[in-house]
Chain A
Amino acid sequence: MREMSENLLSIQNLHASAQGREILRGLDLEIRPGEVHVIMGPNGAGKSTLANVILGDPRYEVTEGRILFEGEDITAEKTDARARRGIFLSFQTPEEIPGVSVESFLRAAKNAQTGEMQKLLPFRKALKAKMEQLGIPESYASRSLNVGFSGGEKKKNEILQLEMLAPKLAILDETDSGLDIDAVRTIAKSIGRFKSPKNAILIITHITRILQDLPVDRVHILAQGRIVRTDGAQIIDEVASGGFASVLG
């Protein structure tokens, strides 16, 4: 069943729990193509849970509500099927996978998403170009995925995957945390390159530097498992100066 096809993502009354504890308590969210949304909120509000639940993390159970992507109900779908629809999550702490190189991993992911075998040389060329733009040394292509990477390198590697996989919806979970100012700038530039009228970006953050160069359409304040306020970009500055108390009222 298709409905509200103008929405890329539509979350309706979403309740989710982990180990019997409810974390999301009736969350609604709508994102259209071409938009940039920001979710802010205090620690423990459920921001990362939301990101993981959109991707179908089996550690969380959806007890009520549903998630629609391009009008189709994906609430019960497996994670890889959601990824193949074009949903991407940049992890706050990406897993380390010893023995699997960045290049072979990304090529396998691209194969899985496109359903066709990526030719080695053109793929490698595209990968190298993206790595250079992100300031990732060429040697990282043959290193084990995230193993021994610094915090900043892991985040850049997530953005590299974002650019290579070119999803329709990119969810960035605290991609800017723990990064120096140059790295934030590089990543912000990359996100700017990625943004198009056809895709959308959902940024989860508690700092605001990454937002400086991006035109933000909507800012949502998440507290206690719900979106308690939605407004324009101006509330980012309110949060920056007065903390969440100032916007929660």
Chain B
Amino acid sequence: MAKEKTAIQELDRSPFDFRDAVQSDFSTDQGLTAAIVEEISRVKGEPEWMLKHRLRSLELFNSIPMPAWGPPLDELDINNIVTYVKPNTAMKDDWREVPDYIKNTFERLGIPKAERESLAGVGAQYDSEVVYHRVREELLRQGVIYTDMDTAVREYEDLVRPLFMKLVPPSDHRFAALHGAVWSGGSFVYVPAGVQLDVPLQSYFRLNAPGAGQFEHTLIVVEKGARAHFIEGCSAPRYNVVNLHAGCVELYVREGATLRYSTIENWSKNMMNLNTKRCSVEKNGAIEWVSGTFGSHKTMLYPSSFLKGEGARSSFTGITFAGSEQHLDTGTKVYHMAPNTSSTVSSKSISKDGGIAIYRSDIHILPEAVGSKSSVVCESLMMDRSSRADTVPVMDIRNDQVDIGHEARIGRISDAAIFYLMTRGLSENEAKDMIVRGFVEPIAKELPLEYAVEMNRLISLELEGTIG
């Protein structure tokens, strides 16, 4: 009889799991005090308004309680988190000048190989600071700005200051407040009116230091009639202490503009991933979210769209894969705030080996949003009896001239389908792998090719515990 592959509990994440020895210039003490926040601001050489913003956020952080819903977060103690770890290098725009140990990390993750092949610009963040940023010459000539957020605060104050943490105010929730106090790194993108970026920009975030937090801030403005695609990737090696990611993404899509924002998140399983992403969309503009959540121990992530102008559109395509030790609470929110706005949501989740995948969405259609449309489809696939899936789709509709569709399906992988494929010679694992790949295929085809390949690879890792 042929030797069967055995699925193992502890996954081989070796492509992501290598750690570098921590070689930082400066890091703060654990925990959070005004002195630490002032120190971060001083090291960065920030303007006064940003320091004030940080200190006000810290006050809010100290007064806002933990969320009363979602996955339990009691393992997270901010007193044990190092909020700022500065790698011992300044930001470079020539890859050859990046220190070898950081360069090797990103080379192993396929960056900047990807840049040479298919990207218009690349940013790479290591722990708290962006270590590399580069954008193609022709984009600079068109007036595109793509730089790290710290530089943007210093050099583009007129663009940044009116927008920074306006979509996600620090008062919004405890982790938004924390982010406001200790944020560091991230990307700033400005696409001038009418500019069409046909190739994507990509930022990659790597958290190497154990027990640290990563709080990058991404701010993107796509001006009238312009178009852009931004990709973010995240990973970290595994440690046996809790790491925290509380990033913030604010996207502004102006009239008639289009932005696609794609994420493949593959944090290690000691990561608390509490990320806030929001987009405001003006008249006839469109935001397209593509979101893959594979890693982390706990995740709360609900990219939100505010459809503010008539005819604004949003689409959300999401995939979540929860394996052992993972509780992933993901979904989306849409606020229809103007007439004839439309939203589509397509979400798939897979849970396995005791993993928990919760889909949560909130669709609000305000009284003035007449003629609006919304379609929500969420499907959950459980691979075994120890895993859990749930869907919590909420709709709040305040006018009756709307067109709403909603479908939710939760099911266990079909034994009959596995048997059918096995009668054609596929092993049980191959059969499950094929069913799962087919299940996520509508999402895979939304991703850029290299990410679709990456996603399939991650799924095979999750299913078989070996690289297929």
Tell whether, in the assembled complex, residue A100 and residue B434 are in contact, meaning their CB atoms are under 8 Å apart: yes
**Interchain CA distance A80-B2 in the complex, whole Å:** 9
Q: Does B111 contact A (CB under 8 A)?
A: no
**Interchain CA distance A96-B419 in the complex, whole Å:** 12
Q: Does B441 contact A (CB under 8 A)?
A: yes
Shortest CB distance A111–B (Å): 8
Neighbouring A residues of B4 by C-beta, 8 Å = 78
Q: Does A38 contact B (CB under 8 A)?
A: no
**Interchain CA distance A70-B427 in the complex, whole Å:** 22
Neighbouring B residues of A89 by C-beta, 8 Å = 423
Neighbouring B residues of A97 by C-beta, 8 Å = 417, 420-421, 434-435, 438
Q: Does A95 contact B (CB under 8 A)?
A: yes
Which of A55-63, A176-184, A204-212 lies at the binding interface?
A: A55-63
**Interchain CA distance A99-B459 in the complex, whole Å:** 15
Q: Does A77 contact B (CB under 8 A)?
A: yes
Shortest CB distance B212–A (Å): 39
**Interchain CA distance A84-B434 in the complex, whole Å:** 18
Tell whether, in the assembled complex, residue B425 and residue A80 are in contact, meaning their CB atoms are under 8 Å apart: yes
Neighbour of B420 across the interface among A81, A91, A108, CB < 8 A: A91
Neighbour of A161 across the interface among B417, B424, B426, B440, CB < 8 A: B424
Q: Does A45 contact B (CB under 8 A)?
A: no
Neighbouring A residues of B415 by C-beta, 8 Å = 58-59
Q: Does A141 contact B (CB under 8 A)?
A: no
Neighbouring B residues of A91 by C-beta, 8 Å = 420, 423
Interface centre among A57, A79, A83, A84 (most CB of B within 10 A): A79
Q: Does B414 contact A (CB under 8 A)?
A: yes
Neighbouring A residues of B427 by C-beta, 8 Å = 78, 80, 112
Tell whether, in the assembled complex, residue A112 and residue B425 are in contact, meaning their CB atoms are under 8 Å apart: yes
Tell whether, in the assembled complex, residue B425 and residue A113 are in contact, meaning their CB atoms are under 8 Å apart: yes
Tell whether, in the assembled complex, residue A100 and residue B438 are in contact, meaning their CB atoms are under 8 Å apart: yes
Neighbour of B438 across the interface among A58, A59, A83, A98, CB < 8 A: A98
Q: Restricting to B423-455, which residues have a CB under 8 Å from any CB of A?
A: 423-428, 430-431, 434-435, 437-442
Tell whether, in the assembled complex, residue B425 and residue A78 are in contact, meaning their CB atoms are under 8 Å apart: no
Shortest CB distance B421–A (Å): 7
Interface centre among B424, B426, B427, B438 (most CB of A within 10 A): B424
Chain A window 42-83, contacts with chain B (Cβ cutoff 8 Å), 1 for yes, 0 for no? 000000000010010111000000000000000001111111
Tell whether, in the assembled complex, residue A58 and residue B419 are in contact, meaning their CB atoms are under 8 Å apart: yes
Neighbouring B residues of A88 by C-beta, 8 Å = 423
Tell whether, in the assembled complex, residue B426 and residue A99 are in contact, meaning their CB atoms are under 8 Å apart: no
Tell whether, in the assembled complex, residue A81 and residue B1 are in contact, meaning their CB atoms are under 8 Å apart: yes
Tell whether, in the assembled complex, residue B424 and residue A99 are in contact, meaning their CB atoms are under 8 Å apart: no
Q: Does B167 contact A (CB under 8 A)?
A: no
**Interchain CA distance A95-B440 in the complex, whole Å:** 18
Q: Does B416 contact A (CB under 8 A)?
A: yes
Tell whether, in the assembled complex, residue A99 and residue B441 are in contact, meaning their CB atoms are under 8 Å apart: yes
**Interchain CA distance A59-B422 in the complex, whole Å:** 14
Shortest CB distance B426–A (Å): 5
Tell whether, in the assembled complex, residue B437 and residue A100 are in contact, meaning their CB atoms are under 8 Å apart: yes
**Interchain CA distance A98-B416 in the complex, whole Å:** 14
Interface centre among B414, B415, B425, B435 (most CB of A within 10 A): B425
Given contacts A81-B1, A112-B427, contact A99 B442 (CB under 8 A): yes
**Interchain CA distance A145-B2 in the complex, whole Å:** 27
Tell whether, in the assembled complex, residue A83 and residue B423 are in contact, meaning their CB atoms are under 8 Å apart: yes
Which chain A residue lies CB-closest to B436? A99
Shortest CB distance B349–A (Å): 15
**Interchain CA distance A168-B27 in the complex, whole Å:** 69
Tell whether, in the assembled complex, residue B422 and residue A100 are in contact, meaning their CB atoms are under 8 Å apart: no
Shortest CB distance A51–B (Å): 10
Shortest CB distance B385–A (Å): 15
Neighbouring A residues of B423 by C-beta, 8 Å = 55, 79-80, 82-83, 88-89, 91
Tell whether, in the assembled complex, residue B2 and residue A95 are in contact, meaning their CB atoms are under 8 Å apart: no
Shortest CB distance A110–B (Å): 8
Shortest CB distance A57–B (Å): 6
Q: Does A12 contact B (CB under 8 A)?
A: no
Question: Would you list 9 pairs from A and B whose C-beta atoms are within 8 A, ordered by A residue?
Answer: A52-B419, A57-B419, A79-B422, A80-B427, A83-B423, A97-B420, A99-B441, A100-B438, A112-B424
List 11 additional A-B contacts (Cβ < 8 Å) besides A57-B419, A80-B422, A80-B425: A78-B4, A78-B422, A79-B422, A80-B2, A80-B428, A91-B423, A95-B421, A97-B435, A97-B438, A99-B441, A113-B424
Closest 3 CB pairs of A and B: A99-B438, A99-B441, A109-B424
